[in-house]
């Protein structure tokens, strides 16, 4: 459990220093420091890196992976894993394509359909895990393949374009903030990521669902023996994560102005990597949305920075892998000490 920085007055909370040294904060500090170091190194190494257009590109690149990582964070805090977030994103994009392009329905219906499809698929994964007692890894691996196949089947293996839905591409590419403050042309995709993260963080800290999310990961059997209907809450977490994947589906479809049915595989691993770099424990019970956001940013900065420095794409992948191992090693070393 993390302590809020803005706490009510008069409570017996440890001081600021104590909180900074507490484990969750420590990991976030570690990740945050790494992010700053990366930014400094890249901006010294290349004059192009710190340009506004490049920063916007980094943020834009973070948005989809960030939203998926938020979904993965929820599931991972319960002690589970969701390998289907990537193909679920694609599946929901295809559903949006079916509703908007094939059926020609209005935009809000398409968005609603994508999110509903995500919730439904998450509900299915959760049910396989909670009711049929299939390990999360297997259940969501199966789901990943099912959704990949279904996306191809439904779309007829061809991309679905959203040319008939005016404004669809603006969901991700437009900039509401830029309209108001021309100096800050932050794309809507980033704004949406921010809102999703804020909402997820609120759910985790302030709601029953969030409390049980941490409790399930901390000690599921103890929670069950407390008389909590653990199955139901677990399914709810997967369903919520599915819904968030639906939002990611809309984002990526909007960015590409099309639903690409072959896309999606591999996104789940990037999302999980961001979660892990952000200090969320794969064994459950610990984690923060802020950490995950920083993790997603680190991944995006790395990819972008290495590209700006003209490092070959093959080597970018190698570096990313090494960073993941380093991040988790740092986490383990810290845990051992405490």
Question: Residues interacting with another protein, by CB under 8 A?
Answer: 1, 3, 8, 11-14, 206-212, 214-215, 218-219, 221-229, 285-286
Which residue lies nearer to another protein by CB, 249 or 285?
285
- Least distance to another protein, CB of residue 1, Å: 5
What's the token pair of residue 153?
Answer: 């089947």
CA dihedral 154, 120, 254, 305 (to 10 degrees): -110
Contact, 190 vs 205, CB < 8 A?
Answer: no
State the Cα–Cα distance between residues 272 and 282, nearest whole angstrom. Answer: 9
Cα four-point dihedral sign 196, 116, 281, 306: negative
Which residue lies nearer to another protein by CB, 158 or 206?
206
- Least distance to another protein, CB of residue 286, Å: 7
Which residue lies nearer to another protein by CB, 128 or 212?
212
- Least distance to another protein, CB of residue 222, Å: 5
Which residue lies nearer to another protein by CB, 92 or 288?
288
Which residue lies nearer to another protein by CB, 108 or 227?
227
- Least distance to another protein, CB of residue 65, Å: 28
Contact, 169 vs 162, CB < 8 A?
Answer: yes
Which residue lies nearer to another protein by CB, 221 or 314?
221
- Least distance to another protein, CB of residue 79, Å: 11
Enumerate the β-bridge partners of residue 258.
161
State the Cα–Cα distance between residues 91 and 103, nearest whole angstrom. Answer: 17
- Least distance to another protein, CB of residue 28, Å: 17
End-to-end Cα, the chain, rounded Å: 16
- How many other CB atoms sit within 10 Å of the CB of residue 79? 20
State the Cα–Cα distance between residues 160 and 27, nearest whole angstrom. Answer: 42
State the Cα–Cα distance between residues 187 and 170, nearest whole angstrom. Answer: 9
Token look-up 């969701």 returns 82
Cβ-Cβ contacts under 8 Å for 168 (sequence gap 6 or more): 100, 107, 110, 162, 253, 254, 257
Cα four-point dihedral sign 125, 74, 30, 33: positive
- Least distance to another protein, CB of residue 246, Å: 20
- Least distance to another protein, CB of residue 250, Å: 24
Contact, 112 vs 106, CB < 8 A?
Answer: no
Enumerate the β-bridge partners of residue 161.
258
| Among 264, 210, 151, CA closest to 4 | 210
Which residue lies nearer to another protein by CB, 208 or 322?
208
- Least distance to another protein, CB of residue 150, Å: 31
Contact, 68 vs 268, CB < 8 A?
Answer: yes
Which residue lies nearer to another protein by CB, 27 or 254?
27
Which residue lies nearer to another protein by CB, 198 or 262?
198
What's the token pair of residue 124?
Answer: 């299915």
Contact, 135 vs 129, CB < 8 A?
Answer: yes
């Amino acid at each position: 459990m993390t302590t809020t920085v803005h706490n009510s007055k008069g409570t017996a909370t440890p001081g600021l220093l104590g909180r900074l040294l507490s484990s969750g904060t420590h990991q976030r500090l570690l990740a945050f420091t790494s992010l700053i170091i990366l930014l400094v190194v890249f901006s010294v190494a290349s004059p192009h890196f710190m340009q506004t257009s490049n920063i916007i590109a980094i943020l834009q690149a973070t948005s989809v992976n960030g939203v998926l990582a938020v979904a993965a964070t929820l599931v991972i805090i319960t002690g589970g894993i969701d390998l289907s977030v990537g193909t679920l994103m694609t599946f929901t994009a295809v559903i949006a394509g079916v509703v908007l392009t094939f059926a020609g329905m209005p935009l809000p219906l398409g968005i609603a359909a994508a999110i509903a499809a995500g919730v439904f698929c998450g509900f299915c994964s959760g049910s396989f895990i909670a009711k049929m007692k299939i390990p999360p890894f297997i259940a969501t691996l199966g789901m990943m393949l099912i959704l990949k196949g279904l996306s191809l089947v439904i779309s007829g293996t061809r991309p679905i374009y959203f040319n008939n839905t005016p404004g669809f591409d603006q969901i991700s590419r437009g900039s509401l903030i830029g309209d108001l403050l021309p100096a800050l042309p932050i794309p809507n995709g980033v704004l949406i990521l921010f809102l999703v993260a804020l909402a997820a963080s609120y759910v985790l800290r302030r709601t029953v669902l969030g409390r049980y999310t941490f409790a399930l990961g901390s000690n599921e059997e103890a929670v069950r023996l407390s008389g909590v209907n653990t199955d139901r809450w677990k399914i709810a977490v997967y369903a919520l994560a599915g819904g968030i994947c639906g939002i990611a589906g809309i984002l990526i479809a909007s960015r590409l102005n099309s639903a690409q049915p072959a896309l999606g595989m591999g996104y789940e691993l990037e999302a999980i990597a961001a979660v892990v770099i952000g200090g969320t424990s794969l064994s459950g019970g610990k984690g923060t949305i802020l950490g995950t956001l920083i993790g997603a940013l680190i991944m995006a900065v790395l990819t972008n920075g290495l590209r700006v420095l003209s490092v070959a794409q093959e080597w970018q992948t190698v570096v990313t892998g090494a960073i993941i191992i380093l991040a988790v090693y740092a986490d383990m070393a810290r845990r051992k000490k405490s």
